[in-house]
Structure 1
Amino acid sequence: MVDEVTVRTAAETAWSIFRATHPGIDASDSRRCLLERHLQGTGREQVSDTEDLAALGLAYLHRLSSDEC
């Protein structure tokens, strides 16, 4: 399991990048919560680096369709 600080930092990084590239998305969009849950549930011991986890989170956000939110 990935530690909580790494998850929070990675989620913040991924969310900031996602919002910068999608300016119409509100800061309180439900995708933020989905992102955090996804990153917490990764359970991948080998992904402990914040940058790698943020990249996984960003890829996850891009896969989400707006009707899932």
Structure 2
Amino acid sequence: MVDDGTLRMAIDTAWSVYRTRHREVDAADSRRCLLERHLHGRREARGDDAAELTAFGIAYLEWLPEDEC
């Protein structure tokens, strides 16, 4: 099980990396909420590895279609 601090760090890092690569994305974009839900759903399967959760989150954000948000 992942503690909340590890999960929060993974979410924040993935979101920061994604926004750095996609400057047009606003900080309050709905993709942030989708990322949080996605990683919350994966946290049990991924364990306590923040780097792995972060990479998984970045991959998820890149996969999202533009019209999903």
> What TM-score does the superposition give when structure 1 sets the normalisation length?
0.91
Q: Which residue of 2 aligns with 1:14?
A: 14
Q: How far is 1:4 from its partner? A: 1.4
Residues 26-52 of structure 1, C-alpha deviation per residue, up to 9 Å, x if partnerless? 0000000100111111121x4311111
Residues 4-63 of structure 1, C-alpha deviation per residue, up to 9 Å, x if partnerless? 11111000000000000000000000000100111111121x431111100000000001
In structure 2, the gaps of 5 or more residues are none
Q: Which residue of 1 aligns with 2:49?
A: 49
Give the AA of the match of 2:63: R
Identity %: 54
Contact 1:2 1:40 in 2 (8 A): no
Runs of 4+ in 1 over 3 A off after TM superposition: none
CA RMSD of aligned residues (A): 1.1
What SS does the corresponding residue of 1:41 show, helix, strand or coil? helix
> What TM-score does the superposition give when structure 2 sets the normalisation length?
0.91
Quote the Cα distance in structure 1 between the aligned partners of 2:41 and 2:16. 20
Quote the Cα distance in structure 1 between the aligned partners of 2:54 and 2:35. 10
